[in-house]
Chains A and B, each alone.
Chain A
Amino acid sequence: MSYLSTLTPASAEIFLLVMACVILIVDLFVVNQQKTPTYLLVQFTLMGLAFITLMTHQQGAVHLFHNMFVSDLMSDVLKMVSYLTVSIILVYSRSYLLTRGLFTGEFMVLTLFTLLGMMVMISASHFISMYMGLEVMSLSLYALVALQRDSATATEAAMKYFILGALASGLLLYGMSMLYGATGTLDVAGVSTAIKHGVANPALLVFGLVFVVAGLAFKLGAVPFHMWVPDVYQGAPTPMVMLIGSAPKFAAFAFLMRMLVDGLQPLMGHWSNMLIILAVLSMALGNISAIAQTNIKRMLAYSSIAHIGFFLLGILSGGIDGYSSAMFYIMVYVLMSLGAFGMITLLSHEGYEADTLDAFKGLNQRSPWLAFIMLLLMFSMAGVPPTAGFYAKFSVLESIVNTGHIELAVFAVLLSLVGAYYYLRIVKLMYFDAPESHEPIRIQPDTGLLISLNGLSVLALGMLPSWLMSVCAVSVQQSLLLR
């Protein structure tokens, strides 16, 4: 009994694993074509997860399983937003997938396993558990992309995603093994101590670091490791793209924090220089390539590359300010990209994919409210106040200027000017052009409500961003202090 009670900090993960297996079995007996019971069970599971995480939250950091697993404020906050993100994705994707016959038990169970992988990543404080979480997440995502198996583009996307993802995992694992060789431990805290005491071979360490950073850059989709991003975004079904582009970013943020900040802080001089290159290239290539796109999913893919560049600026500027600005940035980015992809699923209907820019033509005449929501999302992505995207950019710029890299800040704002152009083009299409079809847009009440909330929350966060900034700052601060 006493052993079981030590497992409490991991009870959310355990609950999710059990529920995912239960749902897999229950789904066999659901005859309903709409899969409503399974769907409700999944949403109930997510609510239960949120409840458990809230209930089991403890002050300070709790380590479990021989330091493999850590539960602190940052991990709990990131898990809570991940639950929320997955829940939102399920609502958005339901009717889209139903009309395409993809709303199956497998979809939902795989989504839950993706979430499980992310949760393990978020709480991992050991190379083994980090890698394990990453693989659980990635393998589920590969399968999700390939779910639409009669679609050639989706299969191609899945292939690309799988091969390049496996390559990235290999790179990461290789780098980890180097670090292990240099320090003799797989524990993040142990690695940090070993480096500080100077027992590790510096050349080997930096060699390992290069591979780790490259592997992470692959997963994040930062230039020059971004090649898979546009193809996967374009080819995969929209709900899967929504999933790939959102919640895993939280897990990746936690991974970066634990690996680079907790473990390899003494090498910050090295990795921050690498991140500068990644950030500058990502912002430049992402923003410039996005201009040339005619497919909105592809455009959003390049936009995500550009946003990752901005996010890396926050990480590399370091300190509580830098990390919390990156955390805030990624939360706001996920909120915006959920809305943008949600809008694509909303405008799509049976036999029609709203994934070209032309699908947004004259939206203001077909549905002024949806056009207004999209307008908010696009201006937020461009970073125009009074939307949340502005404060995300602002807090990153503030931390980068504080570290003295004014030239990086100038470069970043000039490229976000380039970025403003293609977001503006969507607004232009919606408001200035005539619609191609006058077909009324049919929206389910739940998705309609959700997209409204999603868009308005971008505006509300733009008016009152303070509380979320404080949440990020406090959780980063605690996780750094308790190291």
Chain B
Amino acid sequence: MIFGFPLLSVAIWLPIFFGILVLATGNDRNAPLARILALAGAVLGFLVTLPLYAGFDKSTSAMQFIEFRDWIPHFNIHYHLGIDGISVLFILLNSFFTPLVVLAGWKVIEKRVAQYMAAFLIMSGIVNGVFAALDAMLFYVFWEAMLIPMFLIIGVWGGANRVYAAVKFFLYTLLGSLLMLIAFIYLYRESRGSFAILDYHALAIGMNAQIMIFIAFFMAFAVKVPMFPVHTWLPDAHVEAPTGGSVILAAIMLKVGAYGFLRFSMPIAPDASHELAWVIITLSLIAVVYIGLVALMQSDMKKLVAYSSISHMGFVTLGFFIFNAYGIEGGLLQMISHGFVSGALFLGIGVMYDRVHSRQIADYGGVAHKMPVFAAFFVLFAMANSGLPGTSGFVGEFMVIMGAIQVNFWYALLAASTLIFGAAYTLWMVKRVFFGAVTNEHVAHLTDITLREKLIFAVLAVCVLGMGLYPLPFAEMMHQSVTDLIVHVGHSKL
């Protein structure tokens, strides 16, 4: 807290409050009002998180901005919030994306505008809650509550096959989280009546129990990341979601799962994490290589970026489970970079879809002739996606490869193959969509991006380049927390 002001609570509840306000504007006659209110809420929501960055003490791994109140005394559950170097960046990333998503849906969404905007605002508050919660039940409530707005976003405003995608998304993620709930209840019993996550970190647990807990958490987090082989919901959800939904899914939702590994699996079950690290590493490498190849074969742009997301997230989990500073910090930087890059790519595909109403690569060709400014931006993000040095995509990937080579040469070699596959599928798509001759009528009638769209892309381009050229501000926020996490995970609990 700064000056006794509960910043984290505001970061959570302000967007939700604005979401309810937007809902109250009612039907589509008041759509302009709903849009303006939503933008105001989103921008305010971002502004209130800035003091979290400014007031953050980088020299400690202890929780900061702590809020602690009784919530459900019957089960010793508390409203306990706090952030450390690992979670603070994700709150910022999430709040940063909300105004962009509102702007991206400004013109495109015409039916049930208020509900659309409100869903994203409420979502934004809930996600902040997930990253800030220090009580396992509070975390669980936010974690599950995320499903409801996302389910509606995909199902109401999505594409042709939206219902299938929404239901698949919901059930997949619910399956994982229910097992996590049982793990929490077990830990509650073992810790003699505590739901505090930090108590669990210190709790001594036997090997068998650790393995069971690890598996339960793994089910919850692996589905969200998503890791091979439980990734199949993601391409469906991405393809059918509206642009804003895809952006939030890729930029924010996927990060929640990876965050869970760092906050729960590794510190609560360190011995099981070491014991089963080979499973995670294998699955991560399969994701990097195999999913990279799958991405190469996609004819749908959104699907291509979706598979590329899975492949990039494989990098993240690989980095986490090699247990060194390069790996974990690299993984975290990769998560943030991937948020910017995949968000930007989905927004870019959205721009084309709004004009041509097709996501098929084959329906495009020579777009650069008609939309030069847009093409410049898109090529930049594509380069970042393939990990070009100087863009944000390079930093994390390079660090993870550095970390991996300390552990095992072959891990590093396989991981590094992404630099080739990533470049291949991204640049090949760019070549087919943007370059060459104008292939058809639709493309010939394209108009370049508007000021609103330019603004969105310019902001993202600054982030991508800024982080690529000078990643220190990001890295130094997390450094102390990561260092202490590695020490903690290094101690056996047996």
Which A residues form the contact surface with B (CB < 8 A)? 364, 368, 375, 379, 384-386, 390-391, 394-395, 397-398, 401-402, 406, 409-410, 413-414, 416-417, 420-421, 424-425, 427-428, 431-432, 464-466, 469-470, 473
A298 to B178, CA, bound (A): 27
Cα distance, A428 to B164, chains bound together (Å): 10
Interface contact A420-B189, CB-CB below 8 Å: no
Bound-state Cα–Cα, A428 to B151, Å: 9
CB distance from A345 to the nearest CB of B (A): 26
Q: A364-B112, A410-B182, A469-B75 are in contact. List 17 more A-B contacts (CB 8 A).
A: A379-B148, A384-B144, A398-B188, A406-B186, A409-B185, A413-B178, A416-B178, A421-B171, A424-B170, A425-B167, A427-B151, A427-B152, A428-B155, A428-B163, A428-B166, A466-B73, A469-B74
Q: Verify B185–A397 contact, CB threshold 8 A.
A: yes
Chain A residue with Cβ nearest B140: A385
Also in contact, A417 and B178, with CB within 8 A (given A390-B141, A398-B188)? yes
CB distance from A415 to the nearest CB of B (A): 10
The range of chain B's interface size is: 35 or more
Q: Within the assembled complex, what's the spacing in Å between the Cα atoms of A397 and B179?
A: 11
In the complex, B71 has a CB within 8 A of chain A = yes
B175, CB-defined interface residue at 8 Å = yes
In whole angstroms, what is the CA distance A464 to B137 when docked?
13
3 shortest interchain CB distances as A-B pairs: A413-B178, A385-B141, A469-B74
**B44 within 8 A of partner (CB):** no
| With contact pairs A420-B170, A420-B174, A428-B167 given, residues A401 and B189 touching in the complex (Cβ less than 8 Å) | yes
Which of B151, B166, B178, B185 contacts A401, CB < 8 Å? Answer: B185
Residue B405 interfacial (CB < 8 Å): no
By secondary structure, the B interface counts as helix
**Would you call B179 and A413 a contact (CB within 8 A)?**
yes
| Chain B residues within an 8 Å CB radius of A409 | 182, 185
Q: How far is the CB of B34 from chain A (nearest CB, A)?
A: 13
Kindly list chain B residues whose C-beta atoms are within 8 Å of the C-beta of A368.
26-27, 115
Set of chain B residues within 8 Å of A386, measured between Cβ atoms: 141, 145
- Asked if residues B74 and A473 are in contact (CB atoms below 8 Å), the reply is yes
A420's nearest neighbour on chain B, judged by CB, is B174
B161 to chain A, nearest CB (A): 11
In contact, A470 and B74 (Cβ under 8 angstroms): yes
**Are the CB atoms of A384 and B148 closer together than 8 Å?**
yes
Query: Can you name the residue of chain B whose Cβ is closest to the Cβ of A462?
Result: B141
CB neighbours (8 Å) of A395 from chain B are 75
Q: Which of B156, B170, B182 contacts A431 (CB 8 A)?
A: B156
Contact A466 B71 (CB under 8 A): yes
State A421–B147 Cα separation when bound (angstroms).
Answer: 14
Chain B residues within an 8 Å CB radius of A413: 178-179, 181-182
Cα of A364 to Cα of B182 in the assembled complex, Å: 34
Q: Bound state CA distance, A427 and B153, in angstroms?
A: 13
The reply to whether A432 and B75 contact each other, CB–CB distance below 8 Å, is no
Q: Closest approach, in angstroms, between the C-beta of B250 and any C-beta of chain A?
A: 22
Q: Using a CB-CB cutoff of 8 Å, which residues 416-467 of chain B contact chain A? A: none
Chain B: minimal CB distance from A399 (Å) = 9
Bound Cα distance from A391 to B163, whole angstroms: 28
Q: Which residues of A contact B112 (CB under 8 A)?
A: 364
Per the bound structure, the CA–CA distance linking A472 and B197 in Å amounts to 27
- Interface assignment of B162: CB less than 8 Å from any CB of chain A: yes
In the complex, are the beta carbons of B72 and A469 less than 8 A apart?
A: yes
Q: Tell me if A414 and B178 are in contact (CB < 8 A).
A: yes
27 residue pairs of the A-B complex, CB under 8 angstroms, read A364-B115, A364-B156, A379-B148, A384-B144, A386-B141, A386-B145, A398-B188, A401-B189, A402-B189, A409-B182, A410-B182, A413-B179, A414-B178, A417-B171, A417-B175, A420-B171, A421-B171, A424-B171, A425-B167, A431-B155, A431-B156, A432-B156, A432-B162, A432-B166, A464-B71, A466-B72, A473-B74
Give the distance in Å from the alpha carbon of A355 to the alpha carbon of B75 in the complex. Answer: 39
**Chain B proximity of A398: nearest CB distance (Å):** 5
Q: List B contacts of A421 (CB < 8 A).
A: 167, 171
CA of A421 to CA of B26, assembled, Å: 29
Minimum CB–CB distance for A58 against chain B, Å: 25
Question: Are A401 and B182 in contact, with the CB atoms below 8 A?
Answer: yes
A375 and B185 CA atoms in complex are apart in Å by 27
Complex Cα gap A420–B145 (Å): 14
Decide if B181 touches A394 in the complex (CB within 8 Å): yes
Contacts of B137 in A (CB 8 A): 394
Q: Are A384 and B182 in contact (CB under 8 A)?
A: no
Chain B minimum-CB-distance residue to A409? B182
Nearest CB in chain B: distance from A52 CB, A: 29
Contact between chains at B189 and A417 (CB < 8 Å): no
Q: Report the separation of the CA atoms of residues A131 and B377 in the bound assembly, to the nearest whole angstrom.
A: 78
Expressed in whole angstroms, the minimum distance between the Cβ of A389 and any Cβ of chain B is 11
- A470→B178 CA distance, assembly (Å): 25
B176 nearest in chain A by CB position:
A417
Closest beta carbon of chain A to B443's beta carbon, Å = 32
B145 contact from A364, A385, A394, A470, Cβ within 8 A: A385
- Return the CB mask of B51-90 against A: 1 if under 8 Å, else 0: 0000000000000000000011111000000000000000
